[in-house]
Structure 1
Amino acid sequence: MPTPDASKVDLSYAIGLEPEAAIQYFESKGYAISFNWQDVWAEAHARSFTVSGVTKLDVLTDIHDALKEALKNGETLADFQKRLQPLLEAKGWWGKGRIIDKATGEIEGKRLNPRRLETIFRTNMQSAYSAGRFQAQQANVEFRPMWEYVAILDNRTRPAHRSLHGRVFRYDDPFWRNFYPPNGWNCRCRVRTRSMSDMERLGLAASSSEGRLETVDQVVDRKGNTQPAIVFNDPATGKRFMADAGFGLNPGLAAWQPDLGRYPPALAKQFTQAQASR
């Protein structure tokens, strides 16, 4: 099946809020097949669509298309599973355990079940919505340049995410390149924009990540394998904040790079150099 064509996006409502950018982000993703999700890392993961353990293009496409329809139609997790489960059952990909090639004995993938579908659904919906929200906020930075991290403060909130609740960074602070939510599986955090008058009226103080971002080796699996990751050394808590493995890149930034082929070579080179120096 051909890669989704971003020029044929069907603009519709998604998640009840700002759907257009979310749909464009999701449909513009290519396909990446990987038995281990760690193989599709950071920016590549944000630019492509992959499902851990799914190594068959037709199955990956079924999942992608079901998520796309859910975005377009504002569907629930139950709707998503209802559409997808019969297709997975027919291809032998529904249930528990791994799929083994009878001829070679090689592992072909891991079957999907309701729990895995929920993680796939929530993570992809949140990433698509966040990318759309990021673009809307970027378009309004002249009037609302200060961005506030907002966590859901209940008993399911990760302590590290809770510690960032209410913290404000300028929209162009490098903090947002790596920690614009979601910052992990089923992360429910979001970003609220503030004007300078809001800051003064509410008595909010701005934070800065200058000199506090560091590259470390992050363990990404049970075997102890590592990948480079960015951490924020938080002066307020004295602790490091790090996104879950595979989430340390703003999906909005990865998905919305300009088509450099449409620009003069000198300008395209200037943009590439600026990105590489960030």
Structure 2
Amino acid sequence: MNPEDIKAVFEMKPEAAVAYLKQKGVAVSWDWQDMLDDAHATAFTVAKTAGMDVANDIYSAVVKAAETGQTPEQFSQEITPVLQRKGWWGRQEVPNPDTGEFQTAMLGSPHRLKTIYMTNMQSAYMAGRYVQMKEAADTHPYWEYIAVNDSRTRETHRLLHGRIYRADDPVWDSLYPPLDYRCRCRVRPLSAERGRDKVLPSPELETITVDIGENRFTGEQRHARRTGIRIGRQFVAPNAGFNANQGKTMLSRMAQVAVDKAQAVHPDIARVALKEMMKNERFKNSLSAGALAWVLELLKG
């Protein structure tokens, strides 16, 4: 899939997806449960990479794939020899860096590399897509959930297909794809004319806590939140670890970075800069409650 194909599929510029990937840091982890929800938007990680010096290699390969429009097969062909040379391949007995205990773990494999590729690409493109749709909300105030609807589509994702909510509906804070590993869903913006008669009332959101296994190092039981809605008798929510809107989290992080930098300069300079930035609704809406309060207090001066 080349960049033009990607642009046609996602109806957005590939550069936005690359920007999302490049603003991430790299974090090593042993278990997938170490990185949940909002953390995915600010850090790139692959489970079972702690202490094995391969997380940066995989991250660089993912960024390159987005920049050059590599297919999953091309991505895998390029990164596989690197991982094999470093020993991160196949099922092996490896020491847990937290405990020193040896355990059997599946490291690299063609299936796993495809999952890494698809999950990160979908997160990146949907985050960039979110930014563009928020910017166009004045002309396209309604969003429609779109599932692929083939034999591989999860039933809960199929239930969301065609559901239309306002662009500012809180439902998108959690039910914005990807909702799981290898999720292929997307969201389509609709004009006022196309969405007005089809928009659904804001649904009641429900949050449940699920068990995601024991931390073998501390002995503590780990949990994750899943926030979703009821469609009939079915609870429809992101899978554990995906309970966040990647695009919204990215915007909030960038806004916080701007505020942090403003706090480090003279108040008079910060006041002028932030006064201009607050004219941008996207920036204002991305601020956390604490950051917004600080900015408003500064602007009073």
Q: TM-score, normalised by structure 2?
A: 0.77
Q: How does 1:139-154 map to 2 (within 5 A)?
A: 139-154=135-150
- 1:82 Cα offset (Å): 1.4
Letter in 2 for 1:52: A
Asked whether 1:206 is paired with 2:211, we answer no
Q: 1:272 aligns with which of 284, 288, 299?
A: 288
Listed one character per residue, the Cα deviations across residues 212-236 of structure 1 (whole Å, up to 9, x for unaligned) are: 11221123248974223322233xx
Distance 1:13 1:25, change over 3 A: farther
Aligned with 1:118: secondary structure?
helix
Q: Distance in 1 between matches of 2:178 and 2:94?
A: 31
Q: TM-score, normalised by structure 1?
A: 0.83
Aligned with 1:87: secondary structure?
helix
- 1:106 Cα offset (Å): 4.2
Letter in 1 for 2:198: L
Q: How does 1:14-93 map to 2 (within 5 A)?
A: 15-16=6-7, 17-56=12-51, 58-93=53-88
Q: Distance in 1 between matches of 2:25 and 2:4?
A: 22
Letter in 2 for 1:273: A
- 1:255 Cα offset (Å): 1.6
Question: Contact between 1:43 and 1:249, CA under 8 Å: does it hold in 2?
Answer: yes
Aligned with 2:143: secondary structure?
strand
Q: Distance in 2 between matches of 1:199 and 1:172?
A: 14
Letter in 1 for 2:226: A
Distance 1:163 1:239, change over 3 A: same
Q: Distance in 2 between matches of 1:273 and 1:134?
A: 21
Q: Counterpart of 2:225?
A: 228
Distance 1:222 1:100, change over 3 A: closer
Listed one character per residue, the Cα deviations across residues 247-272 of structure 1 (whole Å, up to 9, x for unaligned) are: 11011111222122244689799943
Q: 1:111 aligns with which of 89, 107, 110?
A: 107
Moved more, 28-37 or 260-269: 260-269
Aligned with 2:225: secondary structure?
strand
Question: Contact between 2:166 and 2:199, CA under 8 Å: does it hold in 1?
Answer: no
Q: Counterpart of 1:196?
A: 192
- 1:188 Cα offset (Å): 0.9
Q: How does 1:113-132 map to 2 (within 5 A)?
A: 113-132=109-128
Query: Share of identical aligned residues, percent?
Result: 35
Aligned Cα RMSD in Å?
Answer: 2.9
Pick the structure with greater CA Rg. Answer: 2
Moved more, 54-63 or 264-273: 264-273
State the aligned residue count: 258
Moved more, 62-71 or 153-162: 153-162
Q: Counterpart of 1:185?
A: 181
Letter in 2 for 1:132: G
Question: Contact between 1:93 and 1:110, CA under 8 Å: does it hold in 2?
Answer: no
Q: Counterpart of 2:251?
A: 256
Aligned with 1:191: secondary structure?
strand
Aligned with 2:38: secondary structure?
helix
Q: Give 1 or 2: higher helix fraction.
A: 2
- 1:109 Cα offset (Å): 6.5
